[in-house]
Amino acid sequence: MQKKDPPILITRPTLPPVEEYESLVRDIFASGYLTNGGAQHARLEAALAEKLSAPYLRLFTNGHLALECAISAFGFDGGEIITTPFTFISTTHAISRCGLTPVFCDVEPNYFTIDPAKIEEKITPRTRAILPVHVYGNPCDMDAIGAIAKKHNLPVLYDAAHAFGVTVRGRAVAEFGDASMFSFHATKCYNTIEGGAVICKDTAFAERLNGYKNFGYHPDEEIREVGGNAKMNEFQAAMGLLNLKYFEQNIEKRAAVSARYHKNLSGIDGLSFRPVPEGVQQNYAYLPVSFDPAVFGASRDVVFETLKSFGIIARKYFYPLSSEAACYKGAYSPEDTPVAFTASRRVLTLPMYPDLALSDVDDICEIVASCQR
């Protein structure tokens, strides 16, 4: 097989027809309104609130600042937040940058989401909240987490960066917990170029979010929070409106790509896909595959390098664990979360995007299978 030229990347941003975006850009130019909650921003906020069954939804310039603002809006005065190390580093950084200490709970072995059975042992008098992550779009066990949170009177803030459009028994994931953060980064299955949102159920919390993303200002001009600048601009909102229009169509394409991967790779000893929890409608945001080197005969890293040699760029996602980051050196021991540690050494996410040719999927699968000894 020849090397792919140009290479096949791990993902490609979904883009609407350029003519439709140009039309909205002309509207922006005609209005002269670029930021601070313009017409496109207002339209997108309303459309997403309806899509995600959100009582209150606030838009942000990116998902990371959305998460920081959400943590800040709870008003914690120091303390600890229980989360998972098997996540993008943004989750951990947001907690730390808000002046709290991340406490890492291990994940369960099927979905790699936080293990509810191990949460309570992490709760101390300094615990302020639980911050689970919907990994690869697979929702956490939100019923179990909710029961623990209620028992200990703790709020739950979900990192739903991967879970846009995901439902559980017909309910949007944002209907669970006290608040949820979504990322609309260009690599996500729904994007606003950059962007994010926080969904909450309380009007006072939503007002605090407005303050934290706009220097602490409120409509009465009073500055009530030590806020920053995390506002979404009109060009991002315009992209979001159009990508929302084509979202379901793109999910259908992703489903077809996912089905082809499963058809080609299912049944290979030592290679496994993540199962989908019962009652979940997924968004096919990622294509994670786990390799058991003792059974498959080759490590995840060997598969990664072999694909790379053919011009196919996969991703070790998530590697290393957040608890292994150099900036947290000495604060944590990755061995304290053994399931997450093993997952970080075995998971490879394969290329996934709506317009990935099925013939390319076939080639990727052929290379993966050839690594087996």
**Residue 217's beta-bridge partner residues?**
223
Domain boundary residue, one of 218, 245, 272 = 245
Percent of the chain topping pLDDT 70? 100
10 falls within a domain = no
What's the domain count of the chain? 2
Q: What is the CATH number of the domain that holds 120?
A: 3.40.640.10
Does 306 lie in the same domain as 232?
A: no
Domain boundary residue, one of 212, 227, 245 = 245
Give residue 260's identity as a one-letter amino acid code: R
Percent of the chain topping pLDDT 90? 99
Domain boundary residue, one of 197, 218, 245 = 245
Does 279 lie in the same domain as 164?
A: no
Tell if the pTM clears 0.95, that is, is over it: yes
268 falls within a domain = yes
Does 330 lie in the same domain as 215?
A: no
Mean pLDDT value across residues 101-118: 98
Output phi, psi for 56, to 5 deg: -140, 130
Judged against a pLDDT cut of 80, whether residue 366 lies above it is answered with yes
Judged against a pLDDT cut of 90, whether residue 373 lies above it is answered with no
5 falls within a domain = no
Contact between 313 and 4 (Cβ < 8 Å) = no
Does 258 lie in the same domain as 152?
A: no
Q: What is the pLDDT of residues 31-73, one digit of tens each?
A: 999 999 999 999 999 999 999 999 999 999 999 999 999 999 9
Residue 231: the pLDDT is: 98
Note down the domain range covering 350: 247-370
Q: What is the CATH number of the domain that holds 294?
A: 3.90.1150.10
What's the rounded Cα separation, in Å, for the pair 283 and 220? 41
Confidence of residue 1 (pLDDT cuts 50, 70, 90): confident
What's the rounded Cα separation, in Å, for the pair 143 and 277? 13
What tokens does 22 get? Answer: 């140009």
What's the rounded Cα separation, in Å, for the pair 351 and 361? 8
Q: What is the pLDDT of residues 67-96, one digit of tens each?
A: 999 999 999 999 999 999 999 999 999 999
Does 264 lie in the same domain as 217?
A: no
Residue 43: the pLDDT is: 98
Q: What is the pLDDT of residues 315-361, one digit of tens each?
A: 999 999 999 999 999 999 999 999 999 999 999 999 999 999 999 99
Contact between 11 and 313 (Cβ < 8 Å) = no
Which three-class secondary structure string do you get for the chain?
Answer: CCCCCCCECCCCCCCCCHHHHHHHHHHHHHHCCCCCCCHHHHHHHHHHHHHCCCCEEEEECCHHHHHHHHHHHCCCCCCEEEECCCCCHHHHHHHHHCCCEEEECCECCCCCCECHHHCHHHCCCCEEEECCECHHHCCCCHHHHHHHHHHHCCCEEEECCCCCCCEECCEEHHHCCCEEEEECCCCCCCCCCCCEEEEECCHHHHHHHHHHCECCECCCCCECCCCCECCCCHHHHHHHHHHHHCHHHHHHHHHHHHHHHHHHHCCCCCEEECCCCCCEECCCCCCEEEECHHHHCCCHHHHHHHHHHCCECCECCCCCCHHHCHHHCCCCCHHHCHHHHHHHHHEEECCCCCCCCHHHHHHHHHHHHHCCC
Output phi, psi for 34, to 5 deg: -105, -25
Does 148 lie in the same domain as 49?
A: yes
Does 320 lie in the same domain as 175?
A: no
